[in-house]
Structure 1
């Protein structure tokens, strides 16, 4: 006795092996609700999974699969677990009633039942179900809105970081340099994480944050006069000292931003490491602190190699590009001197990937950058 389903009406599935009970309850509920029926637990499961109703009235004692087992199966299935179940039974002892609630039943009605009471309890459960569905839909909508806004915020942040880096470079090449460096560092990190020694440190989250911090590595160059930064000839010692100071100036700028925003966190910490220490060298001959080996933060060590490769293979206002093969030879010569040996080995393994990145993000006419001596 499945009534013609009408859009917008809540659906009640009545499960009972007695035709008289099905007819009685169906006739009582049909004026207000859409009715489906099943004469066994097996049939009830099939109907409920295929097209979940809003409420199930479930007889406890039936041939084959009884009501308790049917309820247990319903609650174990993700498609039917949230459907409220009202048990119908001729047994009224507390033990069986408690078992029904432990199985997840929403209510328990004893036969013979009062039609008025049954209808009232059905209405109450369906009202709760409707409210629950409304709250769930609102939560899903809110989650989608929040996720969409977070994507927008992240995109805005990334664009701001690239724009800030570009202003620091004061050159049309800056965005290309920043994007290449991001890809170089990510490629190195992905390769290096295959080594057990680095696997735990180079998590997906760490690599993502490092990649976003990379474009800020030369932030401090915003304080270098154009006459020095864009000088085509050789720099004096005084001028080169001004260039070297970009590491500490960039670090101090991020420190001020972190304090002003009152947002200390892993991103600022990682960005400050990269900005301050990407010119440190493995043997301690770098600047500004003369750090040695693993005292140099990992992100800065990765950035150091990426930055040198990009400086070599990109045209600068004071030099032409160095071919990829020659650049690789120069960098390999810095193993254990300029560069972390493990990072250098990872670079050698993926040098073709570096070349591919360089070709995908080519220079324009000039590219200002920190000079390599």
Structure 2
């Protein structure tokens, strides 16, 4: 691409003016650039349709058929981002202000001065060139961020799958466990996002992290002895205490060192919070911290409902599975004590969708 003095690129400039002498003068002054001409606003719009790559517009305000103000109104409908310099007479101060209010970036008074016109145009072209470089740089950064985000998501998925496989190897969960919990968490979160109860707001990023981390809620069970974990009968008090240690073991499994609050990893923090609180009961009778009500993190209140439903509708070493209707009946019996009422109501609304998705 050809450049002129100072590294400025040769520009395509649209001059719109009904005065032939002014158009001829503009062409003469701007010999370093490519200039296309229009005698009124209507012709100017036609030129823009043919040349959307135009870099700058010089616009007279007094023209037949379509004046400069009407042109500017119509121009904005085209969603183009081309700087406009208006051409005015010395006494037209009010019109200059009106033109600037409509989006013009500058004005030049007639009769046209060679040096003033050249300098004003150079300033606007340099600004446009710099803006385009910044936009291109930002697009490149956005592409890098998007690529890095995809890599992080993929790394997270691999990490989760590896950890969940540990549960499968121990015969604690089936390979479908991760899929079930993800489906339920997705539908439950989106239902809350839809009805928007105060205090239950979830961003798209938070929902995605909840979906991704839901399968990790019982990862601490890999540290529980087989004699307790796989016992087919009822656990005694000592065994219950051992089993409950899976919560702390799960949190510890995801422990990592941080230098400051800024270095916390959002994804891991969500998983740790979910693991730590998903066995808390709404009435404060849960474990390990006996948290009550809204003191329980929302991630834990969400996972509590999902975990119970999944446990009731899945076969375990110590029990057979229940059908969905019976499972909901059992959950309703203890809902007042166990579950956040807002979360439980949202869950009941999506049970039909859950059942449909499970059959896919």
Asked if Structure 1 and Structure 2 have the same fold, meaning a TM-score greater than 0.5 normalized by the shorter chain, the answer is yes
CA contact (8 A) 2:13 2:35 kept: yes
CA contact (8 A) 2:85 2:104 kept: no
Counterpart of 2:159 in structure 1 is 160
User: Secondary structure of 1:108's match?
Assistant: strand
Counterpart of 1:62 in structure 2 is 63
State the TM-score, normalized to the length of structure 2.
Answer: 0.77
Gaps of 5+ in 1: 1-7, 361-373
User: Secondary structure of 2:337's match?
Assistant: coil
**Change beyond 3 A, Cα 1:305–1:85:** closer
Note the C-alpha offset of 1:38. Answer: 1.0
Counterpart of 1:290 in structure 2 is 290
CA contact (8 A) 1:45 1:70 kept: no
Counterpart of 2:177 in structure 1 is 177
Deviates more, 1:270-279 or 1:120-129: 120-129
Deviates more, 1:347-356 or 1:121-130: 121-130
Question: 1 or 2 for the larger relative contact order (CA 8 Å, sep ≥6)?
Answer: 1
Counterpart of 2:141 in structure 1 is 142
CA contact (8 A) 1:97 1:108 kept: no
CA contact (8 A) 2:170 2:222 kept: no
1:332 partnered with 2:314: no
How far, CA to CA, are the matches of 1:252 and 1:352 in structure 2?
A: 36
1:73 partnered with 2:81: no
How far, CA to CA, are the matches of 1:261 and 1:168 in structure 2?
A: 32
CA contact (8 A) 2:29 2:118 kept: yes
**Change beyond 3 A, Cα 1:177–1:18:** same
State the TM-score, normalized to the length of structure 1.
Answer: 0.75
Alignment of 1:42-53 (within 5 A): 42-48=42-48, 51-52=51-52, 53=54
Note the C-alpha offset of 1:17. Answer: 0.8
How far, CA to CA, are the matches of 2:344 and 2:128 in structure 1?
A: 61
Cα offsets for 1:279-328 (capped at 9, x unmatched): 23344443223344444333322212211221222233444433333323
Note the C-alpha offset of 1:150. Answer: 1.9
1:239 partnered with 2:239: yes
Considering only aligned residues, what root-mean-square deviation do their CA atoms show, in Å?
3.7
State how many pairs are aligned: 346
CA contact (8 A) 1:178 1:215 kept: yes
Gaps of 5+ in 2: 1-8
Cα offsets for 1:183-221 (capped at 9, x unmatched): 21332343355666x344132344333323322211322
Note the C-alpha offset of 1:240. Answer: 3.0
How far, CA to CA, are the matches of 2:291 and 2:199 in structure 1?
A: 23
CA contact (8 A) 1:40 1:63 kept: yes
CA contact (8 A) 2:13 2:58 kept: yes
CA contact (8 A) 2:217 2:278 kept: yes
